[in-house]
Structures are given as C-alpha cells and as structure tokens.
C-alpha cells in the first residue's frame, strides 16, 4: 500500500471516537505521526476522560505507528497553543491540522437557551479558530526563517451548515462559519505554503445516531455507507503533499460519494444607475427570486 503521509506530523482534534478516531488511524496507516486530541466529553460537551484518546494511541502503536495523547480543550486559547506545541515538542514539527472536535445541543430556536447556543459555537467555531491560529503562527515563523512549508488545515463543516437542518441553528451557524473560515484562510495562508480545505461528512456516530443515520444492512460483509471510516481517505489525501494544488474547497462526503460543494455565488440580478424605490422593488423582487435557483436540501441537491 502506498503511504501518502509517510513521516508527516498530524494533529486530529476530537480523535477519541467516531470520525476523528477513523482519521487518526488512517493517517497512522499512511505513515503519519499523530497527535490524538480528545477531552473525552459526552456528546453535549459535558464530562471528560482521557480513556478514548489513550485507546486510539494504543491502537496506533500496536500497528507500529507513532502517536501521543493530548487532552487540551481546543476552544481554550492557551489549550490550543499547548496542542500545537505537543506536536512540535514531541515529533519536531507540524504538517497537518485536522479540526474535527464538536458537540451537539440540538434545540428548536424557540426553546434554545443562550448557554446551548454559546457552548456549540465555542466548541465548533472557536475550537476551529484557536488551533488554526496557533498552527498558522508556527508556519508563518518557519516561513520568516526561510523554511518551506507543505502544510495543511482540514476543517469539518456539515450539511447542516452549508444547506441547513431544522433544529440545529446553533450547530449549523457554527458549521457555516467554518466553511467560510476555511475559504478565507486558504487565501490568507497560501503565502506560507499552507492549503486549507473543509469536509462536510455524513456518518453514523454518537453525534448523529439520533438524526436518522443507520446502517443500510445488518450484513457486515456489505458496504456500510454510514461508517465513519468512509470519510477518512479523503482527509488523508487532503493532508498529503499530493493535494498541494487544492485549497479553499468544501467537500461533501458520505459513503462512496464525494462532491465539491459550490458556495454562495451571484444569481439573477437587476441593476439601474440610481437608488431603488420600495415601490419598484415590490414589483421586481418576486420575479427575481422566481428566476433564482432554490436552496439545496440536506443532500446538497436542488429540487426542480
């Protein structure tokens, strides 16, 4: 088997279970040295345990790979810096940051509390920003020293964010922010030899078991399109040196299906060289909207 990430140093956040665990193991299979970050929290972010991350590290070492546990909270400013330092101090550098950690506090807006909103935004959005900021600082300093980077940031968005899902306004807002954040970072960090992409995965994990995801067949010999492991080959490829030309993209992935999510772009338009009146717009806007493509559904498809 070709090992696409031989010797590369990788951080995966939220890597104790689910998709993050699958990423960590797949990177290790491809020769990467992995920092397995996880605080061992429940789905809603409560509690903590170093058990899950330690088990993943043990599994990587059992296959002959190199890995270390990091238990810092990625949404904590100093914790995020310690996370980056763990890679640099343990393995001598950093090549890939995979921001995967997340929680859920699903609620319809009319019932959502400010605490439920803040907790989800903090873990997903701040928990992507903070590690990315410290990683970018590390790569910028290397660049200033005349050292070349071939580095990667891979963020985790969601169909809930880029397409929308009822009952997940907090989660969706964070995930939409992560998609935009990824596009902007791809423009800012290109000068330092860093690419930035995002994935919007669908898989059966603790976080999605109440959202209708389920194995399509109980036969273990058949392909399970919702297995978390299906997502990781794309992430490992994006973390490899071979993916250097690809940046600023968001990929939908479920099972064996991958597509490039095409972001906001200008559709039908009207223009005049003067200020519009409310009366004019009341005549023109309905027709303009009628000409525009409908919003995509959770599959990313636009119904006719």
Tens of pLDDT, residues 219-240: 677 888 879 999 999 999 999 9
Range list of H helices, 15-74: 18-29, 51-62
Catalytically annotated residue among 33, 138, 157, 171: 171
**Beta strands 257-261 and 250-254: pairing type?**
antiparallel
Q: Could you report the per-residue pLDDT of 118-150, keeping only the tens digit for each?
A: 999 999 999 999 999 999 999 999 999 999 999
pLDDT at 268 over 90: yes
- 188 located within any domain: yes
The single residue listed with the structure tokens 């001598």 is 92
Q: 274: number of CA atoms within 13 Å, CB side? A: 5
- Domains of the chain: total: 1
Tell me the pLDDT band of 45, cut-offs 50, 70 and 90. very low
The single residue listed with the structure tokens 């992507």 is 128
158 belongs to the catalytic site: yes
171 belongs to the catalytic site: yes
Look up the CATH number of the domain holding residue 96: 3.40.50.720
Catalytically annotated residue among 21, 157, 175, 243: 175
C-alpha 124/C-alpha 168 separation (Å) is 13
- 292 located within any domain: no
Residue-level pLDDT at 303: 80
- 279 located within any domain: no
Q: Is 37 helix (H, G, I), strand (E, B) or coil?
A: strand
| Least confident residue range of 20-34, 119-133, 208-222 | 208-222
- 297 located within any domain: no
- 299 located within any domain: no
Q: Which residue has the higher pLDDT, 48 or 146?
A: 146
Q: Range of 64's domain?
A: 9-261
175 belongs to the catalytic site: yes
- 207 located within any domain: yes
Mean pLDDT for the stretch of residues 36-44? 72
Q: Is 110 helix (H, G, I), strand (E, B) or coil?
A: helix
Residue-level pLDDT at 299: 86
Catalytically annotated residue among 75, 158, 160, 232: 158
pTM: 0.91
C-alpha 189/C-alpha 182 separation (Å) is 10
Q: Could you report the per-residue pLDDT of 238-261, keeping only the tens digit for each?
A: 999 999 999 999 999 999 999 999
Residue-level pLDDT at 214: 52
Q: How far apart are the first and last CA of the chain?
A: 44
pLDDT at 169 over 90: yes
Kindly provide the b/e burial profile for residues 271-294, where b requires at least 16 CB atoms within 10 angstroms of the residue's own CB: eeeeeeeeeeeeeeeeeeeeeeee
């Amino acid at each position: 088997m070709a090992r696409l990430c031989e010797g590369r140093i990788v951080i995966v956040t939220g890597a104790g279970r689910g998709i993050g665990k699958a990423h960590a193991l797949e990177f290790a299979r491809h020769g990467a040295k992995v920092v397995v970050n996880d605080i061992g929290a429940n789905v809603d972010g409560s509690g903590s345990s170093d058990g899950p991350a330690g088990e993943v590290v043990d599994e990587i070492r059992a296959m002959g790979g190199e890995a270390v546990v990091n238990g810092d909270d990625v949404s904590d400013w100093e914790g995020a810096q310690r996370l980056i330092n763990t890679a640099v101090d343990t393995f001598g550098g950093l090549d890939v940051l995979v921001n995967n950690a997340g929680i859920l506090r699903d609620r319809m807006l009319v019932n959502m509390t400010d605490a439920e909103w803040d907790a989800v935004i903090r873990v997903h959005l701040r928990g992507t920003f903070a590690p990315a900021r410290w990683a970018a600082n590390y790569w910028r300093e290397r660049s200033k020293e005349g050292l070349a980077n071939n580095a990667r940031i891979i963020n985790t968005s969601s169909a809930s964010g880029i397409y929308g899902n009822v009952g997940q306004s907090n989660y969706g807002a964070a995930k939409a922010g992560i998609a935009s954040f990824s596009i902007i970072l791809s423009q800012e960090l290109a000068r330092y030899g860093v690419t930035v992409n995002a994935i919007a995965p669908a898989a059966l994990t603790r976080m999605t078991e109440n959202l209708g995801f389920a194995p399509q067949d109980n036969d273990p010999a058949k392909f399970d399109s919702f297995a978390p492991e299906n997502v990781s080959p794309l992430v490992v490829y994006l973390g490899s040196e071979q993916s250097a030309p690809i940046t600023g993209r968001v990929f939908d992935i479920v099972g064996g299906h991958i597509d490039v999510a095409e972001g906001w772009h200008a559709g039908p338009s009207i223009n005049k060289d003067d200020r519009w009146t409310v009366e004019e717009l009341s005549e023109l806007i309905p027709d303009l909207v009628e000409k525009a493509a409908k919003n995509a559904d959770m599959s990313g498809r636009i119904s006719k």
